[in-house]
Amino acid sequence: MVSKSALLEEHIRNLQTCRLCPLMRSTPVSGGPVVSRVMLVGQAPGDKEPVLQRPFAWTAGKAMFKWFESQAGVSEEEFRKTVYMAAVCRCFPGKNANGGDRVPDKDEIERCGRWLQKEIITLSPELIIAVGKLAIARFLGELPPLIDLVGKIFPVEKFGRKFDLVPLPHPSGASPWPRIEPGKTLTMQGLALIRDHPAWQHRT
């Protein structure tokens, strides 16, 4: 039987050849073939991640890894080694007219979903951490406000797999939500749910 590790390695080789979205402004970014019970799903890389060749490589990542270090006792290095890092879209979408990152469109999200589907089927994760509204919506559909999502855990069945979903806000400096109340407390509650989840204790 082919190991999960070999399946993931092949999957990532295939992902890196994907050029399906003509508006995307980079090649795909991957966190590597980490066999884990925990998966993190972000939104889409920024302009620095394709250069540095890893997800959450810049300011949003610094903020997010600080959360995990302070609340879940894991360094960035350890996190990258023990959590499979995926995203709603794997390529940098480019900038919008205001200079912010363009939000991927519905077709791009659908198209890129094939990679996420394969990863969920291959890994059968027990816990998925969805970071940001776009990622949360991938699992929960139409969304209530973040205040009703963050700090909670949701049982989800998708692609024939059952897992717990913990939503987190996007750590980008563009949104003050995680830094002001009640977002600050809810974010800490979400991180505590991750820390105490049985899959987190035995990720690999």
- Please list every residue from 111 through 170 that binds ligand SF4, using CB under 6 A: 111-112
Stretch that binds ligand SF4, among 53-61, 70-78, 106-114, 176-184 (CB under 6 A): 106-114
Does 12 help bind ligand SF4 (rule: CB under 6 A)?
no
What angle is formed at CA 43 by the lines to CA 46 and CA 130, rounded to 5 degrees? Answer: 140
Torsion sign (Cα): 95, 97, 102, 105: negative
**How near is the Cβ of 120 to ligand SF4 at its closest, in Å?**
15
- Please list every residue from 26 through 55 that binds ligand SF4, using CB under 6 A: 28
Residue that is written with structure tokens 């003050």 in the block: 176
**How near is the Cβ of 117 to ligand SF4 at its closest, in Å?**
12
What lies within 8 Å, CB to CB, of 177 at 6+ separation is 146, 169, 183
Stretch that binds ligand SF4, among 17-25, 119-127, 151-159, 173-181 (CB under 6 A): 17-25
Contact 140, 154 (CB under 8 A): yes
Nearer of residues 84 and 177 to ligand SF4, judged by Cβ: 84
CA of residue 174 relative to chain centroid, distance: 18
**List 5, 13, 14, 20, residue binding ligand SF4 (CB under 6 A):** 20
Contact 39, 199 (CB under 8 A): no
Does 18 help bind ligand SF4 (rule: CB under 6 A)?
yes
**List 91, 128, 131, 193, residue binding ligand SF4 (CB under 6 A):** 91
Q: Could you tell me the end-to-end alpha-carbon distance of the chain, in angstroms, rounded to an integer?
A: 19
**List 1, 19, 99, 201, residue binding ligand SF4 (CB under 6 A):** 19
**How near is the Cβ of 52 to ligand SF4 at its closest, in Å?**
17
**List 11, 80, 90, 203, residue binding ligand SF4 (CB under 6 A):** 90
The alpha-helical segments, DSSP class H, found in 99-196 are 106-123, 133-140, 183-196
- CA-wise closest residue to 32 among 126, 123, 117: 123
- CA-wise closest residue to 104 among 42, 61, 56, 172: 42
Stretch that binds ligand SF4, among 14-22, 34-42, 73-81, 156-164 (CB under 6 A): 14-22
Binding residues for ligand SF4, rule: CB under 6 A, are: 18-21, 24, 28, 89-91, 108, 111-112
